[in-house]
Amino acid sequence: MISHVELKTSGQGLYEMTQEIRQLVKASGIKEGVMTVMVQHTSASLTIQENADPTARHDLEQWFERLVPENDPLYKHTCEGPDDMPAHIKSALTDVSLSIPIVESAPALGTWQGVYLWEHRSRPHHRKIVIHLHGD
Amino acid sequence: MISHVELKTSGQGLYEMTQEIRQLVKASGIKEGVMTVMVQHTSASLTIQENADPTARHDLEQWFERLVPENDPLYKHTCEGPDDMPAHIKSALTDVSLSIPIVESAPALGTWQGVYLWEHRSRPHHRKIVIHLHGD
Amino acid sequence: MISHVELKTSGQGLYEMTQEIRQLVKASGIKEGVMTVMVQHTSASLTIQENADPTARHDLEQWFERLVPENDPLYKHTCEGPDDMPAHIKSALTDVSLSIPIVESAPALGTWQGVYLWEHRSRPHHRKIVIHLHGD
């Protein structure tokens, strides 16, 4: 079963989509199986991170921003703006697709795990996510 | 088919779980298919790495420790100890879930590939891993 | 369904394999499902990146080369050459396996997404990739 989700973003950062994913699994009627979540862009990515203390996500974003700064003299690909090349690199360092087992009609996330879309561009975007669900 | 594996860790480092995975596939009776292995934590992760020379794993661990040091003044999320925020970042840089094809009743790993749980915390932990197997 | 692909590489860099993957899906007859692509090596990896402007890929390669240089005094695993340990680290930072939903008889890649084998070694290699396809 294929589902499509579109998320609006308003600048760089982590956008939680755990609830959307839980509802998709519930609506599918699948009790046990696996789902694959993939973002259809090269300047946004996916990650599973702590969904409790927001400072953990803040530090994560800040750390990546320092590791992959804008306006690095190394970049030749600058025509799409100073945030574009860092976006591609951050996408390569994190995940474009995630596979998550389904157990008891829910994604088998740990207690503190949330699923996030990671927007790496500064301007607002509509981000397309395609999800495959499979099981019984 | 869903399986649960629990691994005890005693400090940071790579813990091989290739044998556990091979045995799960064998016990499942699946000859051809795919498995998804997911760790249910945000301060431990998974990786596929060389299982021959242990110095390769040692260098990998040391390199990540240097890239993501403890006590970085950037961190605001410090309440869970100096090793907690580096653990979240290292998890984001590596893998929470791995999908591995099954061929001839075994995970289709290359000659030198081993599957590892990567513990990023210093204190001992019990780490839960959930595995979905599918095929014929 | 399992397929095997072998790619010849001639030094470090990104080698596009999107066409091979599209053809495998088409030949499989699967209209809707999911595929898992895994490289069976620990010194080459996979990534989904922009397939339009080649400078984006060039910058990505250069950035990783600067982050993970050869001849780092930290390395103890040097017996297989100066490019070997950087290769393992770059593999850990990127992807060994990718899961991609299949929609309308094609991998559900975004407009600008291409699938690449990332060769991290300097000498020519034959790289084995195993692909599992599943669906209706």
| Burial (0-12, 13-18, 19+ Cβ within 10 Å), B29 | exposed
pLDDT of res. C9: 98
Q: Is C21 left (phi over 0), alpha (psi -120 to 50) or beta?
A: alpha
Contact A88 C56 (CB under 8 A): yes
Instruction: Write C73-81 long-range contacts (CB < 8 A, 24+).
Output: C74/B59, C74/B62, C74/B63, C74/B66, C75/B59, C76/B55, C76/B58, C76/B59, C77/B53, C77/B55, C77/B56, C77/B58, C77/B59, C79/B53, C81/C122
pLDDT tens across the length of chain A (136 residues): 999 999 999 999 999 999 999 999 999 999 999 999 999 999 999 999 999 999 999 999 999 999 999 999 999 999 999 999 999 999 999 999 999 999 999 999 999 999 999 999 999 999 999 999 999 9
Q: What residues of B are in contact with residue C76 (Cβ under 8 Å)?
A: 55, 58-59
Q: What residues of A are in contact with residue C47 (Cβ under 8 Å)?
A: 92, 96
Q: List all chains that touch chain A, counting a touch as 3 or more CB pairs closer than 8 Å.
A: B, C
Q: What is the mean pLDDT of each run of 10 residues along chain C (136 residues)?
A: 98 98 98 98 97 95 98 96 97 98 98 98 98 98
* Axis crossing angle, helix A84-93 with helix A54-67, rounded to the nearest 10: 120
B95 touches chain A (CB under 8 A): yes
Report d(CA C41, CA C9) in Å as an integer. Answer: 13
pLDDT of res. C80: 93
pLDDT of res. A31: 98
Report d(CA C48, CA C21) in Å as an integer. Answer: 12
pLDDT of res. B104: 98
Q: What residues of B are in contact with residue A109 (Cβ under 8 Å)?
A: 40
| Burial (0-12, 13-18, 19+ Cβ within 10 Å), B122 | middle
Instruction: Please enumerate in sequence order all residues whose Cβ is within 8 A of that of C132, keeping only pairs 6 or more positions apart, or say none.
Output: B33, B34, B101, B102, C1, C2, C35, C36
pLDDT of res. C101: 98
Q: List all chains that touch chain B, counting a touch as 3 or more CB pairs closer than 8 Å.
A: A, C
Contact B55 C42 (CB under 8 A): no
CA distance to A36, B4, C55, C87, C108, per residue, from B130 (Å): 15, 5, 40, 29, 26
Contact C50 A42 (CB under 8 A): yes
Residue extents of the structural domains in chain A: 2-135
B59 touches chain A (CB under 8 A): no
Q: What residues of A are in contact with residue C108 (Cβ under 8 Å)?
A: 2, 38, 40, 130
Residue B16: name the closest of B132, B100, B119, B111 by CA: B119
Residue C106: name the closest of C29, C38, C51, C50 by CA: C29
Percentage of the residues of chain B whose pLDDT score is greater than 90: 100
Percentage of the residues of chain B whose pLDDT score is greater than 70: 100
Three-state SS for A13-44 is: EEEECHHHHHHHHHHHCCCCEEEEEEECCCCE
Given a contact cutoff of 8 angstroms between Cβ atoms, the answer to whether C13 and C119 are in contact is yes
Residue C117 pairs with which residues in a beta bridge? C15, C46
ipTM: 0.97
pLDDT of res. B132: 98
Q: What is the CATH number of domain C2-135?
A: 2.60.120.460
Q: What residues of A are in contact with residue B93 (Cβ under 8 Å)?
A: 93-94
DSSP class of residue B75? Answer: -
Given a contact cutoff of 8 angstroms between Cβ atoms, the answer to whether B90 and B64 are in contact is yes
Q: Which two tokens stand for residue C109?
A: 């890649």
Low-confidence stretches of chain B (pLDDT < 70) are none
Is pTM beyond 0.90 here?
yes
**How near does any CA of chain C get to the CA of A107, in Å?**
17
> Measured in whole angstroms, how far is the alpha carbon of residue B38 from the centre of its chain?
8
